[in-house]
Structure 1
Amino acid sequence: MIRGTDAQGREVYESTKTANKKAAHGLLTKKEGDLLTEVVHGKKAVVTFDQAVESYLENGGSHRFLGTFDEEKQEWSGLMAHLNGVVLRKITQNDMNAIGKKLYPGVRPDTLNRQLWTPFIAVWRHAVAMEWADLRMWIRPKNPKGTNVVSFGPKRVGSYPVAYDLAWRFIRDCSPANAAIFTILFYTGMRPIELFVMNTPQVNVPGRWITLPQSKIGEARGVPIHEALVPLLTDMVENRPGRLVRTWENEPFTVYDDNGGQMKKGIAAARLRSQVFDVAPYTARHTVSTQLVMNNVHSHKKDQILGHATDDMSRHYTNVPQTPLIEAINTLPVIQEWLDADWMRDPVKLVRRRAPTLKKAQREAGEAAYLKWQEGRAA
């Protein structure tokens, strides 16, 4: 154990996590050096990437693509394998470029962005908010100029928008539990992970506002509520304490790596019933973003609605409903049949109702449609 008092009078009580006396002494010497450096130069001089990751996760961040720890081998994988123990201020653009080549050789820029740069920058922004690091303009990879080829092969479902009428064709063949989730996503633009862990006290239906204490970028944010969601959310807030959305068994979601695994079977069945294969939970976010652009909503408002990083004082008032954002979200299109669905009024009562069982002929027709859809994507 490391016990004592630092130069500022703070008590230090930490485990060295080793039974080897020589190793423990080395860790003690390092700790003393770090504490002295912190006193002289501040936190920015000593905080490491793994410490920033730990704080980021404790504050609601996602561990996806950051890496996992192998207890047997006592080693990290992924990004943490390269940055564990590295002081934040010493990480450079060249370091990250080299890590990207080692972890993801030969991948497309969008894959490298998703699996390396997005999680790294999310941790970095959290560190900046904690005053452990300076704000930097990290350079992400881009597709080469002078070519019209953006990607090779079909886009991943969930990475592109769809029309609202197509979304409804899919949603009406979901169970009420999944339909309610998709509806909230298509009329808020929230990340699925944000919805799965949200509690009912965060929803202010009269004020048309949702407060998220933590987001992917490590900051609190507010989300405007579309008028279409009022009956749905009113019933949920009044009659469902705890987690806002539930599985068809009326249980809170257990979140695995940024997705609710409990929805997969229901989504697969709904695709076969509806013969719509372009919808996944993340589709809604891309659809909201695209539709707001089409509706001439200012990019600054769009970024605030979607929770993208913005330099704006409104971040300090995330629990206060903001009329311009509510007006902007209300420009999203509505479909009367969607509004009239019974689960839009009684989602709590109907949560355990299952979607109709797939009949053999219906399944065969859906599978044939899926093969045709796949052929069209590959063409």
Structure 2
Amino acid sequence: MTFDRAAAAFIAAGGSDRFLMEVGADGKPRGLVEELRGKKLASITQESLDGLAHRLYPTALRDTKVRQFYAPFRAVWNYAAIEGWAKEKKWRLPKRPKGTNVQELKRFRSGSAPTNYEHAARFVGAMSPAPAMLMTALFFTGMRPIELFVLEADMVNVPERWITLRKSKIGEGRGIPIHEFLVPLFDSLCARGGAVFRKPRGEPYPIMENAGGQIKTAIAGARRRTGIKDVSPYTARHSVSTQLVVNGVHPYVKDQILGHAVDDMSRRYTHVPQRPLIDAINTIKVPQVWRECWWWEDPLELSGRLVPGTGARNDLKERRA
């Protein structure tokens, strides 16, 4: 039995495919299954496993390696052992630092903390229209990146300022209020039908486990142009949550907006616009620089453009010819 076949059986039986089978931004498969494809279970040793973990996560903290590498591997192995495809084995995990005063210094990760909206506006203003529009929607809805990647036009009720997410890969369906600032954006993009947010060339963003990586090129470009390093797709969700608290929004209302407080009643009425949630999201103030982004004139028409100074230099091609 090979690891990839055991993993496929594990997933088919209801196991999680997180960190096992993923698709990269380039559309190519990656993850443990791809790394160990064709590898017989009997040939995997502790030494080879540790070597692979170091190659895939050379600078990661111990807890990250355990969560993203050793845990999914051991889950598949234990399943294989139950099925009789492998011997039961206790795989060693990386050791913790010795001593009570030893601490691992965590590197700052963009997206793990909120930012102020003036700061975010300068960053988003340096992006090409398509990813800038997606980031704008994140900062004024509090949605998860993957929720915007799967968003279809028929889920958006612009007149009622309401989004209804259907139950899908993102989990339970839920209702989300639309900030008044986003009305022209959704009104324009929903006119074409299908996926609301798309790449500059018009194709939908791929659905990946590591949602947010789909626009990493745009993020990297904006960082180079602005020097701002602490803004990423998940920064928006933290910023919405923090700003609602600062604005005095009731914690339950905030949790409803972010999809944290989900009960039987909210599941049943996800399609019904809720005025308290709409009023709450509208308390987030919009910086003037965000309102002045050049693509607001016609979001749909300009979504295929690139930020000035990037893209193919057709003029140089013609000159060389």
TM-score by length of 1: 0.59
Equivalent residues of 2:185, 2:299 under 8 A apart: yes
Give identity over the alignment, percent: 48
Give yes or no for the alignment of 1:51 onto 2:3.
no
Post-superposition offset of 1:344: 2.5
Q: Distance in 2 between matches of 1:82 and 1:167?
A: 40
Cα 1:333–1:106 change in 2 (3 A) is farther
CA-CA distance at 1:152 after TM superposition:
2.7
Q: Distance in 2 between matches of 1:150 and 1:165?
A: 35
How far has the Cα of 1:171 moved from its partner? 0.8
Contact persistence 2:113–2:239 (CA under 8 A): yes
Identify if the C-alpha distance between structure 1 residues 169 and 157 changes in structure 2 by more than 3 Å, giving closer, same or farther: same
SS in 2 for 1:237: helix
Instruction: Quote the residue 2:184 is aligned against.
Output: 231
Q: Which residue of 1 aligns with 2:301?
A: 349
123, 133, 154: which one pairs with 1:201?
Answer: 154
- Note closer, same or farther for the CA distance 1:230–1:71 as it changes in structure 2 (3 Å cut): same
Question: Structure 1 residues 333, 72: CA separation in 2 closer, same or farther (over 3 Å shift)?
Answer: same
Q: 1:152 to 1:262 in 2, by over 3 A?
A: same
1:299 aligns with 2:251: yes
Q: Report the equivalent of 2:19.
A: 65
Tell whether 2:194 aligns with 1:242.
yes
Preserved contact between residue 147 and residue 170 of structure 2 (Cα < 8 Å): no
- The offset of 1:275, in angstroms, is 1.9
Aligned-partner residue type, residue 51 of structure 1: A
Structure 2 residue aligned with 1:311, among 254, 263, 267? 263
* Corresponding residue for residue 184 of structure 1: 137
- Find the counterpart in structure 2 of residue 120 from structure 1: none
CA distance in 1, matches of 2:162, 2:92: 43
Q: Is the 8 A contact 1:194 1:215 kept in 2?
A: no
Q: Check 1:230–1:106 CA distance in 2 against 1; reply closer, same or farther (3 A cut).
A: farther
Of 275, 278, 291, the match for 2:227: 275
Q: Is 1:257 the equivalent of 2:209?
A: yes
Picking from 275, 285, 289, the partner of 2:241 is 289
> Is 2:127 the counterpart of 1:174?
yes
Q: d(CA) in 1 for partners of 2:121 and 2:72?
A: 41
- SS of match in other structure, 2:164: strand
Gap runs ≥5 in structure 2: 1-9, 22-31, 45-68, 80-89, 311-321
Q: Which residue of 1 aligns with 2:114?
A: 161
1:229 and 1:346 map into 2 onto residues whose CA distance is 13
Hey, what's the Cα distance between the residues in 2 that align with 1:85 and 1:197? Answer: 33
Residues 349 and 215 of structure 1: CA distance in aligned 2, closer, same or farther (over 3 Å) = same
Aligned equivalents of 1:179, 1:205: Cα separation in 2: 20
State the distance in 2 between where 1:275 and 1:293 align: 28
Maintained 8 Å contact 1:49/1:83: no
Report the secondary structure of 2:38's partner residue. Answer: coil
Unaligned stretches of 5+ in structure 1?
A: 1-47, 55-62, 88-98, 108-143, 359-379
Letter of the structure 2 residue corresponding to residue 281 of structure 1: P
The Cα shift of 1:79 comes to 4.0
Q: SS at the partner of 2:119?
A: helix
Q: Which amino acid aligns with 1:194?
A: E
Compute the RMSD of aligned alpha carbons: 3.2
Shift, 1:287, TM fit = 0.6
* Structure-2 residue corresponding to 1:325: 277
CA contact (8 A) 2:163 2:271 kept: yes
Note the alpha carbon deviations across 1:334-370, whole angstroms, 9 max, x for none: 1233224342341110012111227xxxxxxxxxxxx
Deviation at 1:331, TM superposition (A): 1.0
